[in-house]
Structures are given as C-alpha cells and as structure tokens.
C-alpha cells in the first residue's frame, strides 16, 4: 500500500541554492545511483513552519508515531540544523583514513561554505524526483509553461531560469517512509513536482501532477521586482534580509 502524500506549494518565493531542476544528476563519487531531478531551496519561516507540520503528519502516516525531530530524516529543517548536518557529514567523511590531508581540508572547506549559505535562511528544503519537473515562468503576471521536450530546451531553461541563485516557487509532495533496517532512520522525503521561476537572482557558485497554472495561480499578481539583486548584495543573500535571523525562531529541534 502506497503511503499518503502531503502536497505543499511555497507561499513565498524561495532561493534556489543548488539546482538539477531541468536536468537530472547523481551525487559525485557514488556508483549505481540513478540520476534525479532535484533542488535545494532556501525558504522563509512561514513556509518552514507549515512544512514542519506536514513532515510530522507524513511520518505519522507511514510509521504510526512521531517521537521527535532528531529521530528522523527530514527533507526540510531550519537553516541552522541543515548547516550542522552538512558539517557533521563532512567530518564523518573526513575521518576516512584513505583521504589525504589535502582532500580532507578541501572537503571540510566546502562544507563550511555550504553551512554558511544555509544559515542565511530560515529553512532549507531538499526535494527531488526521478520524473521530469513541470516548470513555468512568471511573465507580466501570467504563468507560462516552459518547454522541456528537448535537451536543448532543458539546458536553456537551466541557464536562464533554474540556476543556482534564482528566485522560484517550488511545489513538492511529502511522503513518510519506514527505515529499512535498524541502523537507518525513518523520515519524510519531498518529491519535487513543479517549479515556477519568479525573478532573477545573482548566480551562486557551486512526474505527473497538476498543471503549472493550477499550482501557481496565486502568484499571477506577484511583483518580482522587489527580489532583484541590488548593487553590493552578497551573492548568497536571502530573499528576506531578516531571513537569517528567523532560524532561531523556528522549532529548535528542526
């Protein structure tokens, strides 16, 4: 029996921090892993608070219980928690005796950079799918579907709209799952279904479902000009200048 899915569309534009939205990719250094479409998003507190509730519901639906955030894998957490997770994972990888001192230093340096980026946002959402993501753009108040039927079209959309740093509105579906063995965690994963481009942002280094018009209809009157980067803005600045402060306001364990 398939577990229940809990759909959610962000009510505030999110910052697309790491993008494989239009073209699938697989983690580096991992063999026999199927490439997936995915995105890592910096989200605001209003969305994080709503998502946390859905994650709890999804986990309860799959396992019949919810004990506490630390006991589960979560697709969305506070920026601070996501940063700590990145650093902890890097430290674990760096303990591999097969790595040289230089490799360990670079691994930890990259983790510090990513952690610093995550801390600027109230929440971090990671979502993916093995199916193509339905993509659209906001043009003069109208939602226009983006043609991804060709590889050239996918590459262009990734370059022009769904790049690291763009402002977008993701729609995801949360689904709980049970751990497959005693050494793993149960949790909630997020499936990326739709993604709406709303505004350009300074670029950062480093299937199936409702139509884009149905999903993003509430953004038809959204004015993206307030999100345009200003002179002197940091490349990883949050959409909301106070977003970095919001991390302390969310439920601590998340």
pLDDT tens for 75-122 read: 999 999 999 999 999 999 999 999 999 999 999 999 999 999 999 999
Both tokens assigned to 195: 């993604």
Range 14-29 average pLDDT: 89
Q: Global pTM?
A: 0.80
Burial of 10 (0-12, 13-18, 19+ CB in 10 A): buried
All residues at 6 or more sequence positions from 197 whose CB lies less than 8 Å from its CB, including other chains: 135, 136, 137, 138, 146, 161, 162, 166, 167, 168
Q: Would you list the domain boundaries of the chain?
A: 5-249
Homologous superfamily, domain 5-249: Nucleic acid-binding proteins (2.40.50.140)
| Contact (Cβ atoms closer than 8 angstroms) between residue 189 and residue 172 | no
Which residue, among 3, 81, 6, has the nearest Cα to 51 in the 3D structure?
6
> Can you say whether the dihedral through the CA atoms of 234, 236, 242, 248 is positive or negative?
negative
């Amino acid at each position: 029996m398939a577990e229940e899915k809990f759909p959610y569309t962000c009510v505030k534009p999110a910052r697309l921090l790491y993008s494989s939205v239009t073209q699938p990719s697989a983690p580096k250094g991992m063999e026999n892993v199927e490439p997936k479409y995915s995105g890592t998003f910096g989200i605001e507190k209003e969305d994080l608070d709503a998502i946390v509730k859905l994650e709890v519901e999804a986990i309860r639906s799959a396992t019949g219980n919810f004990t506490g955030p630390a006991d589960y894998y979560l697709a969305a957490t506070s920026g601070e928690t996501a940063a700590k997770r990145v650093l902890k994972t890097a430290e674990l990888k760096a303990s591999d005796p097969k790595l040289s001192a230089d490799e360990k230093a670079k691994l930890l340096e990259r983790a510090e950079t990513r952690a610093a980026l995550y801390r600027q946002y109230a929440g971090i959402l990671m979502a993916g799918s093995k199916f193509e993501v339905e993509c659209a753009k906001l043009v003069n108040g109208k939602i226009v579907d983006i043609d991804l039927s060709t590889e050239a079209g996918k590459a262009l959309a990734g370059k022009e709209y769904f790049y690291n740093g763009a402002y977008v509105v993701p729609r995801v579906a949360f689904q709980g799952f049970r751990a497959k063995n005693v050494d793993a965690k149960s949790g909630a994963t997020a499936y990326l279904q739709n993604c709406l481009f709303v505004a350009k942002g300074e670029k950062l280094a480093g299937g199936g479902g409702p139509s884009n018009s149905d999903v993003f209809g509430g953004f038809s009157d959204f004015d993206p000009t307030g999100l345009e980067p200003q002179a002197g803005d940091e490349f990883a600045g949050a959409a909301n200048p106070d977003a970095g402060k919001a991390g302390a306001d969310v439920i601590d364990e998340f």
